[in-house]
Amino acid sequence: MKRRYLNIEIGPYLRDTQKLSAMQSGAYLHLLMHYAVHGELPHEDDAAMRMIARLDPQQWRRTKPVLARFFDAHWRNPRADRDRMKQERIAVLRALAGQAGGRSSGMSRRARSRLGDN
């Protein structure tokens, strides 16, 4: 399983969520973490969404409209999408660098073995 990270800039997070209760903020964080790992939320399944948010049905009914403001109509989060794309680019670049390093290292070993320096 790939590691997924949720990049939370504390200042903007606190500014954007200052009017949320502790329960609402926790629910939002759980939704963001699920979104970061899976790339989407099951927005058409209220039961699944409330389970991800770790809220009971009554809490979810009251909290859903508040949390919806942090997502678009399909429960996508543009900031999390940008972070995810950045993470994927970094992973590809690291993989390419690792492959290039492996080829370079292999060529060096072969050259040394030809010279008898093994």
- Residue 45: per-residue pLDDT: 97
Q: Region 2-21: what's the mean pLDDT?
A: 86
3-state secondary structure of 55: coil
Which tens digit of pLDDT belongs to each residue from 59-84?
999 999 999 999 999 999 988 888 87
pLDDT of residue 108 exceeding 90, the answer is no
pTM of the model: 0.73
Q: What whole-number distance in Å separates Cα of residue 52 and Cα of residue 38?
A: 12
CB 75 within 8 A of CB 81: no
3-state secondary structure of 74: coil
- The Cβ of residue 41 has, within 10 Å, a number of other Cβ atoms equal to 20
Q: Region 81-103: what's the mean pLDDT?
A: 78
pLDDT of residue 118 exceeding 60, the answer is no
Q: What is the mean pLDDT of the chain?
A: 86
CB 17 within 8 A of CB 25: yes
